[in-house]
Chain A
């Protein structure tokens, strides 16, 4: 085996330039493909983060009719028993009770539709890290009578800290809801869309505003490991009965899941084209390597080398080319993409506006998930394996006497 490896390795460098060109094509293919995948996955991660980490959490428990009606009437009563039942699942980390609805919010001169989220400040911060996003004023405290509003909303309504915001809405079972609240803090929400319309209130304060005492629209369920989502969802579904229902973030945001899937499919097609080009590049090199060494192969078989051993050498050569290309590609792409992940590329001009219109931050984010890298290595390895079949067939089909006269 050592001799076969040695021969294969030395054969690679018989035509250095050609080998290096082939290796370079794989290198750039892997780099490009890793870059593209990292950018795609980075943006998906950001999108999911925006939904999961900054708003919905991994799962939510609702009243079974709530998701259809989105009405404050389809709420459920806050209960310690329910909390305990959910927390009894070992995958569950913590829960956040929320009461959410919409209201008209007015400052001295302006009015705007807003989304009101009543929540418990500390667990809410644990999920969304809202405290870190406070730009002016302070974060909500327990029993706080003030509000935390998005920066965009504050700008629109021209509100500052301690200014008063007046809200009117429809409360529980049609009771009119109205109140005026001081602005305790202004936050920059990670979601540009929510940044323009969000109002956070302390839960009790919110329940009072909507006359929905002790009622919740949702119980946000956070799990310790997001990879365990399916498992814990299945378990909680078995645990929770009517009138409760539980939904995963994917079920609550199907458009986003679909958007990610279709975008991912587009990326796969692009990468497939890229890899097909690389594959034919490797195949071309291997075919040339075989064509110009037919006589040598003939001699090797003539003096006693079994065809399968010859095929093994050719297999190693193909594998070496693939491995050198893929490893060098990974070697450069890992630090490059790690750097990019720490320093996302800011978008400017029209592109930035479009992104913000869609509710995303105007940055190109990068992912450094291991799959971004090992998928490329695996793909090149599989392509190499497929291409390596050619020299194996070729060695087995070779007519010895023709090869000797080549």
Chain B
């Protein structure tokens, strides 16, 4: 394992509750002849209600870190605890359930279910959770209104612009009232107007619903909006800055 300088970066003192605790996290790929340390000893705490951006050049390990944080990928070693749940100890089906209840995802390519309308996409996770129809519908309409898509609820993704699709994706991610939302380069495919619009919506939801957002991004506009910016390089955290 390579050296890492995680000890030098400590979170600020605060009163908020830690919801994500990452310890000694490593992810090593042995696919080729050379070992690649995609995540190379990361220690990190994320507090409830944070609006955090993980930045860094391509190949710095942002997406890998986010994937492990979301339970989509397994670390080679190390530990991720979310609200006292050790992700490494969950079986595959328990992990799926855990994601459904606790984590919202926003992907770079929106990844909406193409055969479902905007409304049905937002409702989908609540469906999986077995929420009653009335509650589902009310929450869906509230979220679609919040992301500015009232009136487009019956449109399928193919009939929506990229920005609109990403807003539906944000609404979907929030539908289950997750503990936090992971957004992997959410603005990468959006124009500047849609980016600004989306960021404002997410910031507003972060404030209103106290939902923690964690982005991986290259986009300076996202960085500017973030309250905390964590910089990764070669799989290590090289800086962790909070804005006042």
Which residues in A have their C-beta under 8 angstroms from that of B201?
A: none
With contacts A3-B127, A401-B73, A404-B72 taken as known, whether A300 is within 8 angstroms of B113 at the C-beta atoms is yes
* Residue from A301, A401, A404 in contact with B96 in the complex, judged by beta carbons closer than 8 Å: A301
Nearest CB of B to A53, in Å: 56
A3-B124, A303-B124, A304-B125 given. 15 additional CB < 8 A pairs?
Answer: A7-B113, A7-B115, A7-B116, A10-B115, A14-B114, A299-B105, A299-B113, A302-B99, A303-B99, A303-B173, A304-B100, A304-B129, A304-B176, A400-B72, A401-B67
Interface set, chain B 86-131, CB cutoff 8 A to A: 92-93, 96-97, 99-101, 104-105, 107, 109, 111, 113-116, 120, 124-125, 127-129
* Residue from B67, B99, B113, B125 in contact with A296 in the complex, judged by beta carbons closer than 8 Å: B113
The digit string for A1-39, where 1 denotes a CB below 8 A from any CB of B, is 001000100110010000000000000000000000000
A302–B176 CB distance below 8 A: no
The answer to the question of A305 belonging to the interface, with a C-beta cut-off of 8 Å to chain B, is yes
What class of interface size applies to chain A in its complex with B? 20 to 34
Which residues in A have their C-beta under 8 angstroms from that of B111?
A: 295-296, 299
Query: Nearest residue in B to A400 (C-beta to C-beta)?
Result: B72
Interface set, chain A 283-308, CB cutoff 8 A to B: 295-296, 299-307
What class of interface size applies to chain B in its complex with A? 20 to 34
The digit string for A193-220, where 1 denotes a CB below 8 A from any CB of B, is 0000000000000000000000000000
With contacts A299-B107, A401-B72, A401-B73 taken as known, whether A304 is within 8 angstroms of B114 at the C-beta atoms is no
Which residues in B have their C-beta under 8 angstroms from that of A305?
A: 96, 100, 128
B114–A296 CB distance below 8 A: yes
Which residues in A have their C-beta under 8 angstroms from that of B176?
A: 304
Query: Nearest residue in B to A11 (C-beta to C-beta)?
Result: B115
In the assembly, what is the distance between CA of A10 and CA of B114, in Å? 9
Query: Nearest residue in A to B123 (C-beta to C-beta)?
Result: A3
B125–A303 CB distance below 8 A: yes
* Residue from B67, B96, B120 in contact with A307 in the complex, judged by beta carbons closer than 8 Å: B96
* Residue from B107, B116, B128 in contact with A304 in the complex, judged by beta carbons closer than 8 Å: B128
Nearest CB of A to B171, in Å: 12
The answer to the question of B172 belonging to the interface, with a C-beta cut-off of 8 Å to chain A, is yes
Query: Nearest residue in A to B98 (C-beta to C-beta)?
Result: A304
Nearest CB of A to B242, in Å: 29
The answer to the question of B163 belonging to the interface, with a C-beta cut-off of 8 Å to chain A, is no
Query: Nearest residue in B to A7 (C-beta to C-beta)?
Result: B115
Nearest CB of A to B23, in Å: 21
Query: Nearest residue in B to A308 (C-beta to C-beta)?
Result: B93
